[in-house]
Amino acid sequence: RKEVEQDPGPFNVPEGATVAFNCTYSNSASQSFFWYRQDCRKEPKLLMSVYSSGNEDGRFTAQLNRASQYISLLIRDSKLSDSATYLCVVEKAGGTSYGKLTFGQGTILTVHP
């Protein structure tokens, strides 16, 4: 089983749509969680950290369920510029895994006019 698994996608949605991505992780010792986005052949860019209480940043809402080891990202009112690959990322602090990020394979989102 992969350490971080995401919806296979791709997602193809019209502008203005709401889209949700899911992610599960296998290591219960994981402590920090993030969503990154990666545009074609470019570096990953931090979208948002994910907290147990859930957090929102404009049109983006992230949720974490530690009991189910499940992370989600909701994008409301999709824009063309949201088209990218969305990466679910976990980090297990402490010991030799300190600072090591584990990435999911990514989910491709295409927003069309």
Partner 1 sequence: NAGVMQNPRHLVRRRGQEARLRCSPMKGHSHVYWYRQLPEEGLKFMVYLQKENIIDESGMPKERFSAEFPKEGPSILRIQQVVRGDSAAYFCASSPPSDYQYEQYFGPGTRLTVT
Interacting residues toward partner 1 by CB under 8 A: 32, 34, 41-46, 49, 87, 91, 93, 96-106
CA distance 106 to 84: 10
Nearer to partner 1, 49 or 76 (CB): 49
Minimum separation from the CB atom of position 17 to partner 1 (A): 26
- Minimal distance in Å, beta carbon 112 to partner 1? 23
Closest CB to partner 1 among residues 11, 34: 34
What is the smallest separation between the CB atom of 70 and partner 1, expressed in angstroms? 18
Choose between 78 and 107: whose C-beta lies nearer to partner 1. 107
